[in-house]
Amino acid sequence: MGCPPLVGAARSCGARPGSEAEVPGGCEAEPVGAGDARSDLEVIPPCDTLVHFVGVTHPNPSNLGQFREIDLESAKELLSGVKSAGILCRSGHRAGEVRPLRGSACRSGIAHPTMRHPRQDSSPLVRAGAGAPLAHRTVADVLAEGGDPRRARLRKSVFDFFAYLWQCDLKGYRSRLMDTRMVGTFDLERYLRNSKKVDISDIDLSQAAGHPLTEAEVRCLTYMMDIESHTIVYLRSILSTCAIEDPDTTAFLSCWAYEEHFHGRTIGQFLNACGIAFGQNRLAEVQRGTAFTEWLKDMGASLVCQFSRYFHGAYLTYGAISELSTLEGYGVLARRTQNPLLADILRRLAKDERRHFSFYYNKAKLELQARNSQRLTTFIIKHFWLPVGGGVKPDAEVNWILNYILKGSEGEKIARRIDETIAKLPGLGWFKQLSLSRAHSLKLSGDQGAPVGAVVLPSS
Ligand SMILES: [Fe+2]
Ligand SMILES: [Fe+2]
């Protein structure tokens, strides 16, 4: 037991079947059931002093289950049973002193009755004679020494209360830690738990047409709807690469594609409510416009994966740029529109985009630690990167949307902000593609093409 003064004061010592031989000399072994402290209490006469030991020899997270099943349950039963058994439960001993065992209650802040015992499998109940002198003091006894006894009692009670909370919270905290799946600072487990389609059930879309909506906004929303709906095609492409080998990425992509689908659907619902109709085969129509170079890029990506294990950094960086651009795009449109319903919807979409960006960005940061990954990503982004919608929508339409979103000094600031954020990724200090694309689209601003897909503005 490792605590001679305590052993000397004990009259009997509870032991589980098979552990009787471990009861120290001078103590009478009394059989007790594992974790069944309530039944053990029935054999203890009122007014005895009860010391309940819990704990393990080498505490670590792998023992957490045993702590819960054995120690926590027995302590709970004990505490709920002491009252009915007529046992006074105190953290000190008036006539004597109890010192916690090494590396135990004192250091962890847990005072009597949950003192740790150096052997987990014994968890004995030790009965000492009433008022029997014990050689050492508990932490609570030390706190209770000197000064105003009422204040000392209050301090002791507060100490015991927080010690109990600390113990419970620690277990919960450890549990949460063990359930957490972090990707850098992105909590993937939390994302997977909370992923859901964007909820606009509280927005009355029948009122949408009653607010202003410009032709440019309709064109911009149509572009966004098409690209959001195109996500399922992009998912097919990305899963043909080595992205499918990474469990974090595949878990994320499963929820991501679901959320993006409902982004496209939500924008479509809003436009429909404003009297703008699209054909049933809208996705297929957009697909037909996809450039052949996109197909080539997909083929090239899956080929690169066969030769290099550093491709992860490239598609993650690509994803981070796209999500950040989309997030900023929704923000711009929400600030500019005079339609409060649209602004509300766009802000909800932007919330999702922020989470998407966070995953790609944090994951890319990890992947880009390798110098080879930085080199490959730099090569791919410099030669193949296109703004959101590039390769899917006609070039003229891509230029138009760049102009519309990134026009003026506000647009310049946004482009620079995106560039600076991406440039913080390892090895991407050179990145300024958004500013370059913006400058290029401004040059072509007088050469705009018509939007793809005829749109019918509301008669009002
Ligand atoms: Fe989206
Ligand atoms: Fe997104």
Q: Is 53 helix (H, G, I), strand (E, B) or coil?
A: strand
Residue ranges for the chain with pLDDT beneath 50:
1-8, 34-40, 42-48, 86, 88-137, 139, 169, 171-172, 174-177, 447-460
Strands 182-183 and 125-128: unpaired
Residue 384 tokens, joined:
């193949």
Q: Pick the closest to residue 210 from 300, 60, 340 (CA basis).
A: 340
Are the C-beta atoms of residues 9 and 99 closer than 8 Å to each other?
A: no
State the Cα–Cα distance between residues 155 and 151, nearest whole angstrom: 6
Q: What is the pLDDT of residues 395-430, one digit of tens each?
A: 999 999 999 999 999 999 999 999 999 999 999 999
pLDDT at position 99 is 40
Q: How far is the CA of 256 from the centre of ligand 2 (A)?
A: 7
Q: Pick the closest to residue 242 from 343, 311, 155, 294 (CA basis).
A: 311
User: What is the Cα gyration radius of the chain?
Assistant: 34
**How many of the other CB atoms lie within 10 Å of CB of 35?**
18
Q: How far is the CA of 228 from the centre of ligand 1 (A)?
A: 5
pLDDT at position 223 is 97
Residue ranges matching CATH 1.10.620 in the chain: 182-443
Q: How far is the CA of 352 from the centre of ligand 2 (A)?
A: 6
Q: Pick the closest to residue 251 from 190, 185, 179, 176 (CA basis).
A: 190
pLDDT at position 183 is 81
Q: How far is the CA of 323 from the centre of ligand 2 (A)?
A: 5
Q: How far is the CA of 33 from the centre of ligand 1 (A)?
A: 58
Strands 10-15 and 28-31: parallel
Q: How far is the CA of 261 from the centre of ligand 1 (A)?
A: 8
pLDDT at position 50 is 57
Q: How far is the CA of 279 from the centre of ligand 1 (A)?
A: 21
Q: How far is the CA of 350 from the centre of ligand 1 (A)?
A: 8
pLDDT at position 340 is 97
Q: Per-residue DSSP letters for 283-318? A: HHHHHHT--HHHHHHHHHHHHHHHH-S-THHHHHHH
The H or E element containing residue 335 is helix 312-336
State the Cα–Cα distance between residues 191 and 181, nearest whole angstrom: 10
The runs of H, that is alpha helices, within 42-129 are: 64-66, 73-85, 105-108
Q: How far is the CA of 442 from the centre of ligand 1 (A)?
A: 25
Residue appearing with tokens 């909590």: 187
In the chain, % of residues over pLDDT 90: 47
What are the backbone dihedrals phi and psi of residue 115, each rounded to the nearest 5 degrees, phi first?
-85, 145
Region for 55 from its dihedrals, namely left if φ exceeds 0, alpha if ψ lies in -120 to 50, beta otherwise:
left
pLDDT at position 457 is 45
Q: Pick the closest to residue 9 from 53, 52, 49 (CA basis).
A: 49
Angle at 338 (CA atoms; ends 337, 341), nearest 5 degrees = 85
pLDDT at position 307 is 78
pLDDT at position 335 is 96
What are the backbone dihedrals phi and psi of residue 85, each rounded to the nearest 5 degrees, phi first?
-80, -5
Q: What is the pLDDT of residues 164-218, one digit of tens each?
A: 655 554 544 544 445 567 888 899 999 999 999 999 999 999 999 999 999 999 9
pLDDT at position 47 is 44
Q: Is 443 helix (H, G, I), strand (E, B) or coil?
A: helix
State the Cα–Cα distance between residues 413 and 434, nearest whole angstrom: 11
State the Cα–Cα distance between residues 349 and 357, nearest whole angstrom: 12
Q: How far is the CA of 327 from the centre of ligand 1 (A)?
A: 8
The runs of H, that is alpha helices, within 337-367 are: 340-367
pLDDT at position 446 is 62
pLDDT at position 279 is 87
Q: How far is the CA of 147 from the centre of ligand 2 (A)?
A: 63
Q: What is the CATH architecture of 182-443?
A: Orthogonal Bundle (1.10)
Task: Name the packing angle between helices 312-336 and 395-405 (round to 10°).
Answer: 60
Amino acid type, 165: L
What's the first-to-final CA gap in the chain, in angstroms?
88
